[in-house]
């Protein structure tokens, strides 16, 4: 087996290489020509609005993080007055704060590059056509991909190098997860408030185009793409990558202590090769002048997957790693691709489900909703079965490493999650591409860059919606495997705290475990409801504001020259509402976890995590896929299918899309972060739950 110190150094070097590549990509995007003053003006509104929201959000979250840090110092992993734990608690606090800072930086980097790349993409569509426009959007997204994965690998490596402590690693992951939870929730509420309001008043009531500058919510909508789909999703995928790596390291350290093999070296080796594979994949990404953007994005993902499989197999030979662990990693990677293909089938406008929903829309919005919900539920089965199969195979592959110890099998599951998220650099690049292309489409319309440029950015935007559904499937599935392994980490932490084997599994016939399962299964539904009600309340306020402006600003509805909406009013409504709504939902999830632990003890928490995982994965996959399907059904009709723009089918599809918006961009992608957060809370507080509980 390889030497851990060697792979820690390699991880740092690969991270630095990723940062250098991100700088090169940033300079390439910035160097693309842009001269249209109207596009530049609107782009500056979007950048200013996004940065203002992010600043206000981070001020709110810094107060939450400061309070959480104080509680961690006082109580975790043991109360400071229990003796000998002050330094340990302080180490975890510092790791936690580093996790929050790294996660916040990930979001900020995404905003900075996305608000430049959207302008370059829009003008490239007019000046150079499809190919340069695609590259501007993709390479803009890749800046974020490289920076996010580089910082997550560097952060985990430094915590491991400095502390060498599994609990400190969990603290770092909790910092990343807690900030990601609130950043994704806040950004999701902001973006869908504006998107729903702009669509309902603009398209349905007044029949004006999607990004018409007359619509007071149009700038807020474009700002929302950045704070929700760029900053929020960047923090989310940063969290997913950190959590999968940390859960694997916790299992590797626990297993290594028992059998005397340093499996942590293998985790860092594979994580480094995953980032290196993504760098090569981004470099190789190309598209012909009349190519298909969706195909180009998917091919870059498949190429990166193949590179990772070959590199890790080579490393396994060179460093004499255990082939069973490589097999578990490869299973996760393969299942991730299959889940991506499944998501593509249910959300791609070239496939039957989207076209069937578009056809159903001819009969009215009720049929749009019914058909979309049905296909959304159908899409859940392949992904859930895939997650189950990958967990089962990877567990059994690695269980033979130490047949008497369940930690070995759980380590296999954690390595499957590492495999599934090994190409997360490419996944984030594809994901950030989507909102950049969406913004570019709005800038083309508001800058009046012509029908050909609008057609190009429409095709880029449609590809972004499809690929975004694929990347969310990846992230949700990987979160599922990560949380299953974090369940193993929870058991490991409990047994370590007890000094003996207290937990080897969870018996669902045990009423304490079953109580926990029932409560855990209900939390994702409550969490989703709170977020979507936040969007609902906020959107109603914004719709009223749009109506007021159309009513009171003379000549606005008619588009008279020199008449400009009060864009800032809508941005303020979205910002204030999002900041008001983002804390309660996340806080409820954390508080319920703590209450279950102190009421039912460690067995109830085990059941709680199991219920939370199953319910959360099902809801997250359903909402992500059905939302993407409704969005692309609308775009398919707008491209001329089933009556085209302005038809009854189009109006029905817009209604479907407004339901799908908070599904796919607010609640759905936030659930996997919620599952991660409660699992990390359970692991960090395991010794307290073991010592203090009613039952």
Reading the block at residue 101, the tokens are: 């800072």
pLDDT at residue 297 in the model: 87
pTM of the model: 0.88
- At CB < 8 A and 24+ separation, what contacts does 58-62 make? 58/104, 60/579, 60/582, 60/583, 61/100, 61/104, 61/179, 61/182, 61/183
Q: Confirm if 282 and 425 have CB atoms less than 8 A apart.
A: yes
Residue 650 · residue 638 · CB < 8 Å = yes
d(Cα 695, Cα 693) in Å, to the nearest integer?
Answer: 6
Q: How far apart are CA 535 and CA 541, in angstroms?
A: 10
Residue-range definition of the domain harbouring residue 29: 4-691
Highest mean pLDDT among 110-114, 120-124, 290-294, 632-636: 120-124
Cβ contact 626:660 at 8 Å:
yes
Residue 359 pLDDT level (bands cut at 50, 70, 90): very high
Give the CA distances from residue 250 to residues 99, 169, 490, 503, 675, in Å, rounded to whole numbers and listed in that order.
16, 8, 10, 17, 18
In the prediction, which pLDDT does 83 show?
A: 66
Is residue 171 within 8 Å of 98, Cβ to Cβ?
no
Token pair, residue 283, equals: 């470099």
pLDDT band at 609 (very low <50, low <70, confident <90, very high): very high
- 52 pLDDT more than 60: yes
* pLDDT for res 344: 82
Round to whole Å and give the CA distance between 537 and 347.
Answer: 28
DSSP-assigned letters across all residues of 499-555: TS---S---TTSHHHHHHHHHHHHHHHHHHHHHHHHHHHHHHHHHHHHHHHHHHSTT
Q: For residue 77, is the peptide bond before it cis, meaning its omega torsion is within 30 degrees of 0?
A: yes
Helices (H), 421-450: 424-446
Distances (CA, A) of 514 to 18, 590, 596, 611: 46, 19, 12, 9
Q: Do the Cβ atoms of 269 and 326 come closer than 8 Å?
A: no
* CA separation for the pair 71, 676 (Å, rounded): 19
| Lowest mean pLDDT, pick from 76-85, 384-393, 522-531, 681-690 | 76-85
Q: How far from 544 is each of 107, 119, 178, 539, 662, CA to CA, in Å?
A: 31, 30, 33, 9, 19
Q: What are phi and psi of 129, to 5 degrees?
A: 100, -160
The two tokens of residue 14 are: 């690969």
Per-residue pLDDT of 184-194, as tens digits, reads: 888 889 988 98
Q: How far apart are CA 248 and CA 461, in angstroms?
A: 36
pLDDT in tens, 552-589: 999 888 888 888 889 899 999 999 988 888 788 888 99
pLDDT digits (tens, 9 = 90+) for 667-678: 988 898 899 899
Q: Using 50, 70 and 90 to split pLDDT, how confident is the model at 694?
A: confident
* Whether pLDDT at 529 is above 90: yes
pLDDT over threshold 80, residue 204:
no
Percent of the chain with pLDDT over 70: 99
Task: Please report which confidence band the pLDDT of residue 1 belongs to, taking 50, 70 and 90 as the band edges.
Answer: very low
Helix and strand element counts for the chain (H, E): 21, 0
Confidence of residue 469 (pLDDT cuts 50, 70, 90): low
Closest to 169 in 3D by CA, of 103, 85, 260, 242:
242
Number of C-beta neighbours around residue 69 at 10 A = 18
Radius of gyration of the chain (CA): 24
Residue 25: closest CA among 108, 126, 116: 116
What mean pLDDT value characterizes the chain? 89
Residue 666: partners with Cβ closer than 8 Å, 6 or more residues away: 185, 188, 189, 191, 192, 228, 531, 532, 535
How many CB atoms within 10 Å of residue 389?
A: 13
Q: How many domains does the chain have?
A: 1
Task: Flag whether pLDDT at 14 surpasses 80.
Answer: yes
2 — pLDDT class (breaks 50, 70, 90) = low
Give the pair of three-digit tokens for residue 148.
């996010």
* pLDDT class of 183 with cuts at 50, 70, 90: confident
Structure confidence by residue, pLDDT tens digits, 399-433: 999 888 778 898 999 999 899 888 888 888 888 89
Report yes or no: 694 and 672 within 8 Å, Cβ to Cβ: no
Give percent of the chain with pLDDT exceeding 90.
45
Among the listed ranges 7-11, 394-398, 610-614, 688-692, which one has the minimum average pLDDT value?
688-692
């Amino acid at each position: 087996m390889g030497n851990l110190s060697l792979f820690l150094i390699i991880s740092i070097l690969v991270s630095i290489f990723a940062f250098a590549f991100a700088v090169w990509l940033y300079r390439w995007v910035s160097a693309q020509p842009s001269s249209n003053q109207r596009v530049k003006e609107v782009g500056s509104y979007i950048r200013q609005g996004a940065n203002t929201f992010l600043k206000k959000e981070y001020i709110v979250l810094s107060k939450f993080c400061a309070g959480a840090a104080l509680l961690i110092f006082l109580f975790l992993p043991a109360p400071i007055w229990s003796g000998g734990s002050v330094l340990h608690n302080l180490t975890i606090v510092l790791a936690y704060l580093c996790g929050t800072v790294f996660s916040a930086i990930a979001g900020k980097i995404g905003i900075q590059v996305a608000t430049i790349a959207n302008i370059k993409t829009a003008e490239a569509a007019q000046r150079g056509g499809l190919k340069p426009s695609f590259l501007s959007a993709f390479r803009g997204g890749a800046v974020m991909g490289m920076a996010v994965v580089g910082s997550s690998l560097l952060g985990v490596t430094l915590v491991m190098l400095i502390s060498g402590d599994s609990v400190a690693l969990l603290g770092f992951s909790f910092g990343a997860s807690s900030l990601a939870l609130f950043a994704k929730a806040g950004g999701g509420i902001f973006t869908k408030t504006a998107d729903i309001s702009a669509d309902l008043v603009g398209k349905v009531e007044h029949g004006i185009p999607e990004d018409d500058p007359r619509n007071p919510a149009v700038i807020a909508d474009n700002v929302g793409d950045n704070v929700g789909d760029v900053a929020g999703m960047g923090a989310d995928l940063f969290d997913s990558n950190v959590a999968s790596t940390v859960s694997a390291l916790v299992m590797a350290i626990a297993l290594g202590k028992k059998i005397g093999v340093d499996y942590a070296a293998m985790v860092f080796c594979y994580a480094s090769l995953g980032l290196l594979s993504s760098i090569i994949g981004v470099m190789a990404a190309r598209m012909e002048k009349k190519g298909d953007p969706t195909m180009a994005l998917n091919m870059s993902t498949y190429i990166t997957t193949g590179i990772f499989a070959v590199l890790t197999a080579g490393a396994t030979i060179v460093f004499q790693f255990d082939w069973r662990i490589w097999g578990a990693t490869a299973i996760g990677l393969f299942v991730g691709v299959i889940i991506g293909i499944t998501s593509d089938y249910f959300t791609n406008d070239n496939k039957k489900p989207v076209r069937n929903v578009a056809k159903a829309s001819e009969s009215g919005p009720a049929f749009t909703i019914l058909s979309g919900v049905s296909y959304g539920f159908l899409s859940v089965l392949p992904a859930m079965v895939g997650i189950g199969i990958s967990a089962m195979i990877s567990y059994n592959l690695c269980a033979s490493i130490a047949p008497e110890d369940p930690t070995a099998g759980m380590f296999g599951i954690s390595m499957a999650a590492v495999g599934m998220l090994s190409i997360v650099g490419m996944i984030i690049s594809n994901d950030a591409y989507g909102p950049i292309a969406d913004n570019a489409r709005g800038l083309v319309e508001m800058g009046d860059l012509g029908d050909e440029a609008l057609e190009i950015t429409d095709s880029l935007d449609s590809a972004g919606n499809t690929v975004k559904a694929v990347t969310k499937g990846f992230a949700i599935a990987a979160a599922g495997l990560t949380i299953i392994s974090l369940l193993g980490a929870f058991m490991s932490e409990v047994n370590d705290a007890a000094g003996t084997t207290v937990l080897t599994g969870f018996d669902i016939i045990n009423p304490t475990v079953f109580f926990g399962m029932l409560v855990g299964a209900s939390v994702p539904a409550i969490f989703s409801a709170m977020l979507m009600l936040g969007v609902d309340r906020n959107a109603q306020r914004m719709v009223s504001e749009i109506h007021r402006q159309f009513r009171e600003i003379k000549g606005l509805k008619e588009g008279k020259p020199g008449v400009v909406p009060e864009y800032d009013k809508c941005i303020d409504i979205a910002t204030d509402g999002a900041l008001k709504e983002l804390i309660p939902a996340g806080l409820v999830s954390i508080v319920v976890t703590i209450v279950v632990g102190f009421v039912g003890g460690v067995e109830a928490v085990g059941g709680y995590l199991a219920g939370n995982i199953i319910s959360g994965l099902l809801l997250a996959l359903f909402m992500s896929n059905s939302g993407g399907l409704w969005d692309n059904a609308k775009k398919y009709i707008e491209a001329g299918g089933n009556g085209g723009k302005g038809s009854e089918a189009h109006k029905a599809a817009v209604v479907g899309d407004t339901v799908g918006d908070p599904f796919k961009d607010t609640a759905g992608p936030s659930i996997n972060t919620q599952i991660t957060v409660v699992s990390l809370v359970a692991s960090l507080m395991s010794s307290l739950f073991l010592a203090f509980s009613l039952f």
